[in-house]
Amino acid sequence: MSLLALKDIHKSFASAEGPVAVLQGVSLAVQAGEVVALTGESGSGKSTLLHIAAGLEPVDAGQVLFGTQDMAALPDAGRAQLRRGTVGLVFQQFNLVPSLSVGANLAFQARLAGKHDAAFCTDLAARLGLADLLSRYPEQLSGGQQQRVAIGRALAARPEVLLADEPTGNLDEATGDAVFALMLELARAQGTGLLLVTHSARLAGQCDHAIHLRNGRLA
Amino acid sequence: MTLQALLSHWARNKMQLAMLLAGLTLATALWSGVQALNAQARGAYATAAALVSTDGAARLESPSGQLPQALFVELRRAGVLVSPVAEGRFIMGDTRVTLLGIEPLTAPPGTAAALADGDLQGFLSGGGYAHPETVAQIGASDMALTPSQAVPVGTVLVDIGTAQTALGMADQISHLMLTGPAPDAMPEGLRMAQADAGAELDGLTDSFHLNLTAFGALAFAVGLFIVHSAVGLAFEQRRGLFRTLRSLGVPLRSLTLALALELALMALIAGLAGLGLGYVMAAALLPDVAATLRGLYGAPVPGSLQFSPVWALAGLAMAFAGAGLAGGQALWRLWHMPVLAPAQPRAWAIASGRAMRWQVVGALALGALAFVLGVFGSGLFAGFALLAAALLAAALLTPAALALCLRMAARLARAPVVQWFWADSRQNLPRLSLALMALMLALAANIGVGTMVASFRATFIGWLDQRLVAEMTVTPRDAAQARELEAFLTSRVDAVLPLRRVDATLAGQPGAVYAMRDHATFRDNWPLIQAAADSWDRLAGEQGALINEQLARRAGLWPGDRVALPGAGDVAILGVYPDYGNPLAQAIVTEDWFDRLYPDTPTRQLAIRTDDPDATRAALLDEFGLTAQAITDQAQAKALSLAIFERTFLITGALNVLTLSVAALALFATLVTLSGLRLVQLAPLWAMGLTVRQLAGLELARALVLAGLTMVLALPVGLMLAQVLLAVINVQAFGWRLPLQIFPADWARLAFWAGLAMLAASAWPAWRLWRGGGEPLLRVFAYER
């Protein structure tokens, strides 16, 4: 059974000219330890699909299955609980909690999910090169450092699925490559399924599978 | 085009615009409303002054109270330009008025002006002039009254002959107005006194008006917090636009000018709206203010408001000055901004962190100033300066104190959401600090003024219970009736205690000497703040006088000192009694001594001790045909005194509520403006598994916690304010000092209202967050690319 299975997802948005269909019957699956790249042009619906997978965006039709549990059918509180315990999210803009230190940011989701393991967190921080930065605040870090904190925060909760939306889009190529390699390594080591939205064919090439979206459909 | 580009920001941020305009409108309204009240009252004092004197004129009076009319003729024949006046309280129709009798041919110009357009023949034949409001209060009357705006409220201007008949002053006058140069030698038994009633009222009521102005200024300052906050945030939000406009070739001068024009436009709109609102507010409050001034100071202030162009222009000027003050920083920053300044909104927290340190330094300096003023200052202005310095210091310290509380709370927290809650609250503190400072000021003012009023009320009620022991009082029509009443009552009641007084200058202050009959009523019930040994016995033995607290504090006279009484020379002070509600100096001597010092002084009232007030009242009505207004029972007197008391502080209560409302609006404005920025901070938590409902609840909780902490900080500040009001301002303004009493139930009520105001202020942004589901939060991630 897939860790994450999106089945026949439909989604449209209202506009002045009428509804715009963004996703039209998209299906995909992510297995344990598998890294899936989702590529496509701007406006093809990649991020919308990722948001749907995270339970951030409701679907018009279709199923978002984590094992046998359909996230799309859950109320807001159920979706939040599933997100807290099962999903890790990494964004292009890092989205760290600015009022918390690096250490607190790293541990936050794990503690929220009741899965905090201090030793694991410390090890993760060391592997991410953040051990000396734990008492700093996000605004005091570079972009690359912030993204490493965001990845660490997502992985510290030992999620079954990691959803990453252009995680290196805001970084220069060298930093982006290093961060991506680290994320890949950690996700594979934990057996976490990774769905990665990217524009980069080079990064997609390093994944187990690449799925291309065009006009809301799988190409 | 530049202005159009700037204004487009407001088209997209209508709520922010509404808050900016509301802040400036309210600030202008409260300030100009208070000024309208002050101007109206001061205009009324000037009318009163003009009626009875020429500029700088004096009057000739007798220490014993009345003068023979023949003296007037004698002085005129000697070439001294004087005009006679017969004056007294008189019941007319449904109300009690001051009957002012003048001689129209020799009267000062101000009095003549009041008669200018009238019917002189009718006046000389028994007619009178009165303010339209007084005419309406009197209702049906035997006297033909002509309405005149030139006569103060509560006064009826009549011919001297009419007044002498009505007041029972045959061949007697109250005093002589000097309408020319002073005589070279003062006739025997006469003394000269200043007759400028307006100036006297100005002096007495200064503290009241200063009090109102202080509240107006506080509300104005609180309103400016809103404007400053809204203008500052709009500046930060438009940094990108400024950069773009500069890059496109708009000169810095044009851009600054456009921003100044935008500010001026808003000042004009808000100023006009504020004037309208201020006028409505002043019109609504004026009847109570007028009643207070009449009750406390006998100041004749009409209860209807008149529009003054000078007031309107001054109000508009304040709106512009306020907008300039609140927006000046933004203009200065724009003027100094490099072309390629970062378009990202600056981290307010960082900039404000530096500001907070400076605030603490400023607060300490102001605190030191307040301390110096408290120890070495004297006078009303020093008192208000002390209050202003202490309040400003407390306001400036508020953000730092709140940050300290939040830091301590964060250290104690264990759960991740609770930790985030405290850390996030601390991080957002700089953005909310202006609004929280406004809230702190409003709460401290509420606690301080509320405690002062409640302390005063508790003391005043206790004092009334002790002081108003006579079961009833009767006001005779004239001296003859007073004698008849006393003779009639003496055998029918337990005691008749006549009230006689003469106006006198005591230790350089306007006041009166009263007669007191030696009776157990006074010995047993009159409280004395300080007393010499055997004070009552020595008073009865004519060895000295009692004086009121006002005279004691203002002149620094206490038992053991001596005070000069007209006709008696320096007499020993035997005791000091509290005398709340009376602005004038008073001295009391025993009745027999009084009658020898001031013979023929009419009895103004008779206090009656009786076991059967109803039967006494019935007998008086039957026997003397007295009107109902002439008899006041104890309950009525207490109710009247309490009503005057409550009315006195009604305006204070109204301004308290308005100030708290403005502070709540400041918070609302800030929270609404910040709600967009908050989404960026909340979205990651939502993504990590907190529900929108939880986030909205936490937003509400944050507002409540900040309100609660601010309330806790405001408590000591408010108590300090109350102490200064009771121990410094009241003593300077009214002449009495009261003990500070604590009323925790009032604090709980205020905390409830503050919490409710905070909830109301934060409910809209929280509700919008909750109602939007995840959509507004999702937009944070969607806008990333």
Structure confidence by residue, pLDDT tens digits, B201-237 = 555 566 667 667 777 777 777 777 777 777 777 777 7
* Half-sphere exposure for B485 (CA within 13 Å, toward CB): 32
Residue B694 binned pLDDT confidence (cut-offs 50, 70, 90): very high
Contacts of B683 in chain A (CB under 8 A): 95
Question: Considering chain B, what is the average pLDDT of its residues?
Answer: 82
Chain A residue with the nearest C-alpha to that of B679: A95
Q: Which of B419, B426, B683 sits opposite A95 (nearest CB)?
A: B683
Residue B64 confidence class, pLDDT cut points 50, 70, 90: low
**Cβ-based contacts of A106 with chain B (< 8 Å):** none
The reply to whether A96 touches chain B by the CB within 8 Å rule is yes
Q: What gap in Å lies between CA B706 and CA B695, rounded to an integer?
A: 16
Tens digits of per-residue pLDDT, B427-460?
Answer: 888 878 888 888 898 889 889 888 888 888 888 8
Does any CB of chain B come closer than 8 Å to the CB of residue A57?
yes
Nearest Cβ partner for A91 among B420, B694, B781 = B781
- Could you state, in chain order, the average pLDDT of each consecutive group of 10 residues for chain A (219 residues)? 90 87 92 92 89 91 92 89 91 86 93 92 90 91 90 91 88 82 86 91 90 88
Contacts 24+ apart (CB under 8 A), B487-493: B488/B619, B488/B623, B488/B624, B489/B606, B489/B608, B489/B616, B489/B620, B492/B610, B492/B616, B492/B619, B493/B608, B493/B609, B493/B610, B493/B616
Q: Which residues are CB-neighbours of B137 under 8 A, at least 6 positions away?
A: B93, B94, B95
**Token pair 């709106």 in the structure block, residue:** B319
Alpha helices in B185-251 (DSSP H): 197-237, 239-247
| In contact, B659 and B215? CB cutoff 8 Å | yes
**Alpha-carbon gap, residue A52 to B781, rounded angstroms:** 13
- Do the chains contact at B689 and A83, CB–CB below 8 Å? yes
pLDDT at position A194? 93
Q: For B560, left (φ over 0), alpha (ψ -120 to 50), or beta?
A: left
b/e B731-764 (16+ beta carbons within 10 angstroms → b): bbbbbbebeeeebeeebeebbebbbebbeebbbe
pLDDT digits (tens, 9 = 90+) for B535-583: 999 999 999 999 999 899 888 999 999 999 988 889 999 999 988 777 7
Are residues B689 and A84, on separate chains, in Cβ contact within 8 Å?
yes
Q: What was the pLDDT predicted at A109?
A: 92
- Whose structure tokens read 């006549």? B498
Closest CB to A99 among B347, B427, B782: B427
Chain B: residue nearest A101 by CA? B423
Determine contact: A14 vs chain B, CB below 8 A: no
**What pLDDT, on the 0 to 100 scale, is given for residue A131?**
92
| DSSP at B186 | P
Nearest residue of chain B to residue A53 (CA atoms): B687
Burial of B576 by CB count in 10 Å (0-12 exposed, 13-18 middle, 19+ buried)?
Answer: buried
Contacts of B430 in chain A (CB under 8 A): none
The dotted CATH code for A31-47+78-218 is 3.40.50.300
Number of helical (H) and strand (E) elements in chain A, helices listed first: 7, 10
DSSP one-letter code for A132:
G
A169 → chain B, closest CA residue? B785
Q: How far is B778 from chain A (nearest CA, A)?
A: 7
pLDDT band at B48 (very low <50, low <70, confident <90, very high): low
Cβ pair A91:B773 closer than 8 A:
no
**Cross-chain Cβ contact A93/B784 below 8 Å:** yes
Query: Residue B438, exposed/middle/buried by CB under 10 A (0-12, 13-18, 19+)?
Result: buried
List CB contacts (< 8 A) between B692 and chain A.
76
Q: Are B52 and B299 in contact (CB under 8 A)?
A: no
Q: How far is CA B462 from CA B64, B250, B457, B526, B578, in A?
A: 34, 71, 8, 11, 11
Q: Which residues of A touch B350 (CB under 8 A)?
A: 139
Distance, in angstroms, between A21 CA and closest chain B CA? Answer: 17
Report CA-CA distances (Å) from B190 to B58, B174, B387, B566, B756: 12, 12, 45, 11, 64
B686 with A112: Cβ contact below 8 A: no
B585 HSE (CA, 13 A, CB side): 21
Distance CA B106, CA B715 (A): 60
Task: Pick the residue of A100, A149, A163 with the most B CBs within 10 A to test the interface with B by mutation.
Answer: A100
Going by pLDDT thresholds of 50, 70 and 90, the confidence category of residue B588 is very high
User: By a Cβ cutoff of 8 Å, what residues of chain B touch chain A?
Assistant: 347, 350, 415-417, 419-420, 423-424, 426-428, 681, 683-694, 773-774, 777-778, 780-782, 784-785
Contact B442, B662 (CB under 8 A): yes
Q: What residue segments make up the domains of chain A, in order of their start?
A: 31-47+78-218
The residue among A5, A2, A30, A46 whose CA lies nearest residue A208 is A30
CA of residue B588 relative to chain centroid, distance = 30
Q: What is the pLDDT of residue B205?
A: 66
Q: Which three-class secondary structure state does DSSP give residue B139?
A: coil
Say how far apart CA B590 and CA B771 lie, in whole Å.
78
Nearest-by-CA chain B residue for A75: B691
Q: Measured between alpha carbons, how far is B545 from B573 in angstroms, rounded to an integer?
A: 5
Residue B785 has pLDDT above 50, yes or no: no
The beta strand positions in B610-698, using DSSP E, are 631-633
Confidence of residue B343 (pLDDT cuts 50, 70, 90): very low
Q: Which residue has the tokens 């909780």?
A: B701
Angstroms from B424 CA to nearest CA on chain A = 5
CB neighbours of residue A164 within 10 Å = 27
Alpha-carbon distance A162 to nearest alpha carbon in chain B (angstroms) = 12
Q: Please provide the size of chain B in residues.
A: 785
CA pair distance B565, B504, nearest whole angstrom: 8
Q: Which residue has the higher pLDDT, B209 or B195?
A: B209
- pLDDT at B491 > cutoff 60: yes
CA nearest neighbour of B226 among B413, B22, B414, B504: B22
Share of chain B above pLDDT 90, in %: 17
What are the tens digits of pLDDT across the range B269-299? 999 999 999 889 888 888 877 777 776 666 6
Token pair of B407, please? Answer: 């830091």
B420/A100 CB distance under 8 A: yes
* Residue A176 Cα, gap to closest chain B Cα (Å): 16
> Rounded distance, CA B29 to CA A162, Å?
57
Question: A100 touching B, CB under 8 A?
Answer: yes
Positive or negative CA dihedral for B406, B409, B415, B418?
A: negative
Tokens of B309: 């162009």
Is the minimum CB–CB distance between A74 and chain B shorter than 8 Å? no
Q: Which residues of B touch A56 (CB under 8 A)?
A: 686-687, 774, 777-778, 781
What is d(CA B468, CA B409) in angstroms, rounded to the nearest whole number?
54
- Closest to A51 (Cβ–Cβ): which among B416, B419, B781? B781
Judged by a CB distance cut-off of 8 A, whether residue A165 touches chain B is yes
Nearest Cα neighbor of B736 from B746, B744, B726 is B726
Which residue of B lies nearest to A92 if distances are taken between CA atoms?
A: B784
Q: Which residue has the tokens 């490099």?
A: B338
Distance CA B752, CA B708 (A): 9
User: What's the gap in Å between the CA of B427 and the closest CA on chain A?
Assistant: 6
Distance from CA of B774 to the nearest CA of A (A): 7
